[in-house]
Amino acid sequence: MKQTILVLEQHILEQQRAHPCASGEFSWLLSAITLATRVISAHVRRAGLVDILGETGATNVQGEMVQKLDVIANDTIATCLGYRDNVGIMVSEEDDEPRILKEPDDRAKYIVLFDPLDGSSNIDVNVSIGTIFSILQRRDDAGAGKVMDHILQPGYRQIAAGYVIYSSSTVMAYTTGYGVHMFTLDPSIGAFRLVREHVTMPTSGKTYSVNEAYSRQFPKGIQDYLDWVKTDKAGGYGLRYIGSLVADFHRTLLHGGVFLYPPTLKAPKGKLRLLYEANPLAFIAEQAGGSATDGKQRILDKIPTSLHERTSLIIGSKDEVERVLSFWRA
């Protein structure tokens, strides 16, 4: 029996058939992202062979050291999106301000926000890294020239979100609000092949993921939870922490459990970026049956107030997220 090969572009087109009003513009946009991530994947695989490891000596708007691959990934995505005339605005973790390609209008109606290379501090030690992206549409009620009105939208208004993880294989997961679908890059044909459709996150899981080195800075409720998971009563939880958000989330999506990045004394509002890290992953988590909160409210309900706004994040299996909150609220 011959194996059916369904690539990402075919999958998008098949999904569009269920929506008679679809114009094909979104698939044209998404193809720019897949092209960029294939290029980034190629650079990552060759990172030890050419001079693209290490820091550039500069810091970004987040106050983080910029890696050479950060610059390559950022420029690659920006270049690929720049050729799509339906993209009006781009927002990147690496840029101080949004890039205005054209004033959002009926044609240039998409806003793309992205973390070009999540976990880039792990590049030099060959640990999994990734790209995270979020797609919004222009707001019809935004005033003329009000660029930030288009960008600062709550996560529930995302029309698509996804991530790519660069590891032993290159994997993309994305959602347009109709389930989460997963693809693996096949180097032999240069395309992302469908490997899982309608991915479902387990409702529970005996794995928690957190940087416990900061535990003494966490809120008391989180400290109480971390004490509880180590007891016999908890039933045998295991700690798994990679240190790349996209990699830790990918494992949680497939196997269940919970990822925590709570507020600390040094970062009382949390450390992860709302618009292009927490929002897209929260959208994916909920579409897969999971949950995402900042400890006080649903991530997708948060109203952004600034471009690089930070947030705390508890994300994963519904039962596990609720269990963490039961300690935090106590």
- 94-134 tens-digit pLDDT: 999 999 988 767 778 999 999 999 987 777 777 899 999 99
Does domain 8-196 fall into CATH 3.30.540.10? yes
CA distance 242 to 249: 10
Contacts for 100-107: CB closer than 8 Å, 24+ residues apart = 100/147, 103/145, 104/138, 104/142, 104/147, 104/150, 105/138
pLDDT of residue 102: 83
Tell me the β-bridge partners of 136. 111
Residue 4 has pLDDT above 80, yes or no: no
Answer for the pair 128, 165: CB distance below 8 angstroms, yes or no. Answer: yes
37-48, pLDDT tens digit by residue?
999 999 888 765
Strands 238-239 and 207-209: parallel
Averaged pLDDT for residues 154-174: 95
Percentage of the residues of the chain whose pLDDT score is greater than 90: 70
| Three-point CA angle 309, 110, 61, nearest 5° | 30
CATH code of the domain made up of 207-328: 3.40.190.80
94: left (phi over 0), alpha (psi -120 to 50) or beta: alpha
- Looking up tokens 């030890």 gives 48
Over residues 258-282, the pLDDT tens digits come to: 999 999 999 999 999 999 999 999 9
Task: With H, G, I as helix, E, B as strand and everything else as coil, classify residue 152.
Answer: coil
Domain ranges of the chain: 8-196, 207-328
- Mean pLDDT of the 9-24 span: 67
**Which residues, in sequence order, are CB contacts of 35 under 8 Å at separation 6+?**
80
Neighbouring-strand partners of residue 173 = 163, 182
